[in-house]
Amino acid sequence: MDISVVNALTYEEFVNLFGNVVEKCPIISAAIWSHRPFKDLADIEAHIMGFIHSLPDSGKEGILRCHPDLAGRDLQSGTLTRESQEEQSQAGMTTLDSAEIQHMYRLNSKYKERFGFPFVICARLNNKADIVRQLNERLKNDRAAERERAIEEVKNICSLRLNNIVLSDIQTKL
């Protein structure tokens, strides 16, 4: 996507296009819109990461709470965002059998009880075995370490989603 096109977007168009690069947090894209003109996509990403980094711990946890449980209620009911649906599908989370779903439910519940926010991992960079393994491992972290680890995963998700927007636009033009 040509950066001049991005810089020419209205506020509403910008938020609509970039509003879910951080799951269910359009406030972030709304907040960075005023930093236009952006030099390139990396500049947009840097502003998003800077915004996230500047948040107090409670704000970071708020971002984490916007994420759905992997293989959870939103997936089962069909209420995931389009992006989360695609990411969970690529990781194999949409094809779990009933025993695997129950296992994920127990792990997700244990995790949320321990940390107060859902387990976040960049599903596109993992498969279901990796996800289960990391969920078990990360349950051993203390809250501060896990919050920072989860925020790093949010940043990975955001980066991939930003790149996906650009690639989708390029493919449309071909």
Instruction: Write down the catalytic residue from 35, 47, 67, 103.
Output: 67
Nearest to 24 by CA among 70, 63, 69: 63
Determine contact, residues 171/2, Cβ cutoff 8 Å: no
Q: Is 53 a catalytic residue?
A: no
Nearest to 49 by CA among 167, 154, 163: 154
Q: Which residues are catalytic?
A: 67
